Amino acid sequence: AQTVTQSQPEMSVQEAETVTLSCTYDTSESDYYLFWYKQPPSRQMILVIRQEAYKQQNATENRFSVNFQKAAKSFSLKISDSQLGDAAMYFCAYRTDNTGKLIFGQGTTLQVKP
Amino acid sequence: ETGVTQTPRHLVMGMTNKKSLKCEQHLGHNAMYWYKQSAKKPLELMFVYSLEERVENNSVPSRFSPECPNSSHLFLHLHTLQPEDSALYLCASSPQLGYETGELFFGEGSRLTVL
């Protein structure tokens, strides 16, 4: 069975600095998708960034980028120039089959200090 | 208007009560999902519906009963719950099952407290 592990329950970063959130996963599949979702306090969870496993190039969305290491089954999220609005819980997620089923990690709470 | 709306936002109920959570999506999607979010645990997928047909039921206790009358509405009927069922219940939708990009669109959740 596929599993997703986020080993950092909480992280903090100074405003304008860079922070990296870790995620590892376990699968025997070769084709899959990986995601980072952001859940601000009392607000909707939204997609931050997505990576297709068959793509070697790391995904980037403005200040958000990933370091995808397929062999190591690692998928970390880097947030550059952190802003106060980045404070949220971040979930790493995995999907392989066509049921739409996402498998989530435990989440990492990110605090941004002014 | 948000794409996925959940009501109520907060619910407190006793173990003998019967209540329902409602989810409505205004995105024209065909697949809808219920997830349970408990503190310090991964999100747990509870139910998946595609075109109003249940396609997945992840060993959820029968005290949780889903209903999908049409592709825009999803309910979670609750009865004789236990205190450990207290959690944030998230509804999500996607254009279809197996949507290529895999993105789910979430509601804000219903915070359930069982006394």
Cis preceding linkage at B83, omega within 30: no
Q: Do B56 and A4 touch (CB under 8 A)?
A: no
Give per-residue pLDDT as tens, A46-90. Answer: 999 999 998 889 999 999 999 999 999 999 999 999 999 999 999
List CB contacts of A28: < 8 A, sequence separation 6 or more: none
Q: Do B48 and A45 touch (CB under 8 A)?
A: no
Largest distance between two CA atoms of chain B: 42
Is the minimum CB–CB distance between A48 and chain B shorter than 8 Å?
no
pLDDT interval class at B30 (50, 70, 90): very high
Integer Cα distance of A8 and B100 in angstroms: 29
Q: How many percent of chain B have pLDDT more than 70? A: 97
The token pair that represents B64 in the structure block: 């949780």
Is the minimum CB–CB distance between A94 and chain B shorter than 8 Å?
no
As a 3-state breakdown, chain B gives helix, strand, coil percent values, each rounded to 5, of 5, 55, 40
